[in-house]
Amino acid sequence: MAKMGIGPLGSNGLCKRKFRWLFTIPEVTTDESSGNDPEAGLDTLPPEKSARPNLEFKSMSVKHLNEDVYYPAKPDWKPVTLTLYDMSLNSHPVFEWIKKFYQPKEGAMFPPNVVHTSSTGQTRKFIKEATLTMHNGCGDLVERWIWEDAWLQSANFQTLDMSDSGIVTCDITMRYARAYVDEIVG
């Protein structure tokens, strides 16, 4: 495998670059279910910004003689925010994700981790597995993160401004059960 990045010459080290990544949320940022279809992903939103997971361990204290000793306790996975380019599509992928657990017209809310079949027979599953992959300059996989049981916590469809000719984006915040590095290639 070719090593293409920034690192000391003659070393095996590789500096990962901030712009060589892909974030996959099925049916939101990419459509993995369509196989070799050349139009796969055309009805999804490409990400502009994201982050890797942020983890903090809560601590527990143990009383020992005249001191307190601290140990790591439960992990606390922080939400991750993605900025998506808001494309002109037949339907809005973020709002379609929202409709899988919240129906604004009916005011109906579905409880987490439930697959609900509506009267039309449509299955609504809103818990997803998200993936972040980082790549080197040749496109080879360098690192893969998996977010388990990810769900949409918030969506910000952003402000509009007649005096600004910029691109419209949509910010989403995603909660998840846990995240882990699935593969690091060196």
Which of 71, 60, 54, 63 is CA-nearest to residue 174?
A: 54
Q: pLDDT tens digit string along 144-175?
A: 999 998 999 999 999 999 999 999 999 999 99
> Length of the chain, please?
186
In this predicted structure, what is the pLDDT of residue 185? 61
**Looking at residues 44-69, what average pLDDT do you find?**
90
Q: Where are the domains of the chain?
A: 21-184
Specify whether the CB–CB gap between 175 and 150 falls below 8 A: yes
In this predicted structure, what is the pLDDT of residue 67? 92
- Structure token digits, residue 84: 């998506």
| Neighbouring-strand partners of residue 116 | 124
Least confident of 40-54, 81-95, 137-151: 40-54
pLDDT class for 46, splitting at 50, 70, 90?
confident
**Looking at residues 95-112, what average pLDDT do you find?**
78
Is 21-184 in CATH node 2.30.110? yes
Is 162 exposed, middle or buried (CB count within 10 Å of its CB: 0-12, 13-18, 19+)? exposed
Query: Which of the two residues, 170 and 100, has the higher pLDDT score?
Result: 170
Least confident of 59-63, 93-97, 106-110, 113-117: 113-117
Specify whether the CB–CB gap between 77 and 55 falls below 8 A: yes
